[in-house]
């Protein structure tokens, strides 16, 4: 399945990351610009609404929240750079190097 996503979503999507399509969390196989490629296994198709989707249908997309957290932290960083001390301050490093 290939989905064309708006920049507001596609900027957070990375290969091997995840994206929710109409509430179904899927692994991203490939990204090319604003196109996201996904592989659906038969079980997923049978158990979700995705089996009813046709070319051109609109879907609800929700990007993985991790990218949004990173963006928010970068915005809060005064220098715009992520440093070891910045990561420690925000709980990402336990103090050991």
pLDDT tens by residue, 9-61 = 998 999 999 999 999 999 999 999 999 999 999 999 999 999 999 999 999 99
| Same domain (yes/no): 26, 46 | yes
Tally the domains of the chain: 2
| Same domain (yes/no): 41, 72 | no
| Same domain (yes/no): 93, 55 | no
| Same domain (yes/no): 70, 55 | no
| Same domain (yes/no): 54, 74 | no
Phi then psi for residue 56, to 5 deg, are 95, -15
| Same domain (yes/no): 32, 74 | no
Coil/strand/helix, residue 75: helix
pTM of the model: 0.72
| Same domain (yes/no): 47, 18 | yes
């Amino acid at each position: 399945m290939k989905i064309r996503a708006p920049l507001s979503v596609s900027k957070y999507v990375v290969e091997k990351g995840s994206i929710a399509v109409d509430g179904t969390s899927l692994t991203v196989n490939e990204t090319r610009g604003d196109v996201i490629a996904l592989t659906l296994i038969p079980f997923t198709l049978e158990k979700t609404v995705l089996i009813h989707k046709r070319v051109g249908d609109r879907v609800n997309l929700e990007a993985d929240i991790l990218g949004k957290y990173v963006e928010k932290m970068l915005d809060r960083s005064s220098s715009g750079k992520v440093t070891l001390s910045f990561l420690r301050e925000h709980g990402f490093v336990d103090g050991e190097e």
